[in-house]
Chain A
Amino acid sequence: MVGSAGAVQRSNASRYRHALWLLTTRDLKVRYSTSALGYLWSILDPLVMSGIYWFVFTQVFSRDVGTEPYIVFLLCGLLPWMWFTGAASDSTRAFLAEAKLIRSTKIPRTIWVFRLIASKGFEFVASIPVLAAFALVTGATLTPWVLLWPLAFVIQAILLMGVGLIVAPLVVFFRDLERAVKLVLRFLFYASPIVYASADLPEGFHFWAAFNPLSGIFGLYRAAFFPEQLDSFYVGVSAAMSLVLLGIGLVIFRRSIRAVLKEI
């Protein structure tokens, strides 16, 4: 009569995936059921931003950064940046926003961070058609390097997991971090090759730019249209940095989760 052995016997991995999926789709459902424009919002922001940058850098200033067609060049960096900045800033509230649910539900706690990365990742994927549309209109040529997108996607996901696992628990104890993260993200926007290419940096910065993991990742995305943007040194460093950050994140998360659960 206790029955339903199925629910008990399901493996941990499938329960993990199931919970992750439920929370991710919950976020998307809430977003799309409460706003009339729904999906449009997730592409409107990068569209408006790239419109502004396109205007500033091609109409106001005479641009000598980036590559033609500049709008495609911009979007290749801006769309993944939206994923990065959205997930990183959301992870500051990973525990605080869900305190009630976390206090009453026992699921692996990394899910509270990873679900944010997943839902922002979905929005990123959903915004790719915008890039495709602009590429068609401007006549940008797609190269076989587009096959590297899954690699870029994986490295970025690893990077975000590391950042999220570090930021989420620490914010619970140091609320100031929430604002600090926002500030760092604003800085990082200009410190990353989004409006410009890594190659446009002054000579002295080339080596150090590799240590911004986003340089390698955005280079990979851009290689789909601009193969010269691919720099294997950058990609290697950014993959290594992402893995190191993930390692640090896992240690911090494991050691602080006990205190986090008491605090929220």
Chain B
Amino acid sequence: MSATASTIAGSPVISVRDAGIRFRRNRRGRRNFKDLFAGSSRRSRPGEFWPLRNVTFDVRPGEAIGVVGRNGQGKSTLLKLVAEVILPDEGTVRVGAGVAPLIEITGGFVNDLTVRDNVYLTAGLHGMTRADIDARFDEIIEFAEIADFVDTPYKHLSSGMKVRIAFSVISRLEEPVMLVDEVLAVGDRAFREKCYRRIEELLAGGRTLFFVSHNEKDLRRFCTRGLYLDKGALVLDGPIADVLAAYNADYPPKQK
């Protein structure tokens, strides 16, 4: 029963209009009160730059989008804008459905609490009810393969286990939109493959995927449409094969 997908089918689930965000080049730069509260029009300072500007696109439910670009061209910034953990200085970012952000996935976990407490905390913060979590708890633990450590304080887990439980929780959120930033670079190959299968499962279930990666193989595997970011602008929005071709033409891959 794809309740969330069907109610908004047709209309875009993510709608980005002329979005731009401004950062200061040197983080230790001077700040004054006026700068903090002045309207954006009155502030144009030389030390500022726009990692993203004039970005416009729509995403329809069920689409799988890969974001392509070199380091520092605004990919992660775009992902964070869509996750609404940062806000645009220009334009709008509208996300019409719940989001499961696989960004800094271990960020919400508390070292001193047990795995069980952490699962309830993180899933709850992302909007799951207690009853939902109760129903999925065993599934989450089983996926992460840490059944023996449910009542162990989180800090005693190995780093691989930490990532596994975090991925397991976020990927069970049942939100219609999934954001994936290269989190899966960690963990052993078997678990990574398991994560990828999980993502495919979710895609088959009608989820919308927003995927940032440098790995061409992964991009082709999951995505149908690509966004190519360069120098803070959206250069190309099209089928993933075209986007990768354009990217490779601009920045030819090194011979291996």
Contact = CB atoms under 8 A, between A and B. Distances in A.
Nearest to A18: B124
A169 to B, nearest CB: 9
Interface range for B: 35 or more
Contact of A102 (B85, B97, B117): B85
Interface string A36-57: 0000000000000000000000
A2 B129 contact: no
B142 interface: no
B4 interface: yes
B2 A104 contact: no
Interface residues of A, number: 38
A10 B113 contact: no
Interface stretch (B102-110, B157-165, B189-197, B211-219): B102-110
A183 interface: no
Interface in A7-23: 7-8, 10, 15, 18-19, 22-23
Q: State the main secondary structure of chain B at its contact with A.
A: loop
Contacts of A22: 120-121, 124-125
A39 B93 CA distance: 45
Contacts of B110: 26, 30
Interface of B: 1-5, 21, 23, 27, 31, 36-37, 80, 83-87, 89, 97-99, 101, 103-105, 107-108, 110, 112-113, 117, 120-121, 124-129, 131-132, 174-176, 205-207
Given A1-B205, A3-B3, A29-B117, 19 more contacts: A4-B128, A5-B1, A5-B3, A7-B129, A8-B176, A10-B129, A18-B127, A19-B125, A100-B104, A101-B108, A101-B125, A103-B103, A103-B104, A104-B104, A105-B85, A105-B126, A256-B36, A258-B87, A263-B27
